[in-house]
């Protein structure tokens, strides 16, 4: 069963990127007002070890970048 949790407004979004084992790894940190039932769902997914994905969107996307990895070595 697919579970979707929508967080309507995110504030204080921070990102940190580093290289680990030759790959970029980014940590996202944010603040948001999330209803208690949604927090419970997130915690339950973590406890179950379920795969979790994130979709980030904006109603105000002024510029969309198309970034592709260079395969030349």
Q: At 62, is the pLDDT very low, low, confident or very high (cuts 50, 70, 90)?
A: low
Mean pLDDT of the chain: 88
**Residue 24 pLDDT exceeds 70:** yes
**Residue 64 pLDDT exceeds 70:** no
The DSSP code sequence of 11-51 is EEEEEEEEEETTEEEEEEEEEE---HHHHHHHHHHHHHT--
Structural domain spans, the chain = 1-57
Our CA angle for 42, 43, 44, nearest 5°, is: 90
Does pTM surpass 0.75? no
**Residue 1 pLDDT exceeds 90:** no
Q: What's residue 44's pLDDT?
A: 94
């Amino acid at each position: 069963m697919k579970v979707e949790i929508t967080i309507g407004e995110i504030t204080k979004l921070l990102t940190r990127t580093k290289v680990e084992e030759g790959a970029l790894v980014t940590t996202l940190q944010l603040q948001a007002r999330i209803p208690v039932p949604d927090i419970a769902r997130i915690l339950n997914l973590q406890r179950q070890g379920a795969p979790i994905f994130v979709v980030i969107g904006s109603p105000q996307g002024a510029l969309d970048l198309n970034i592709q990895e260079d395969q030349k070595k």
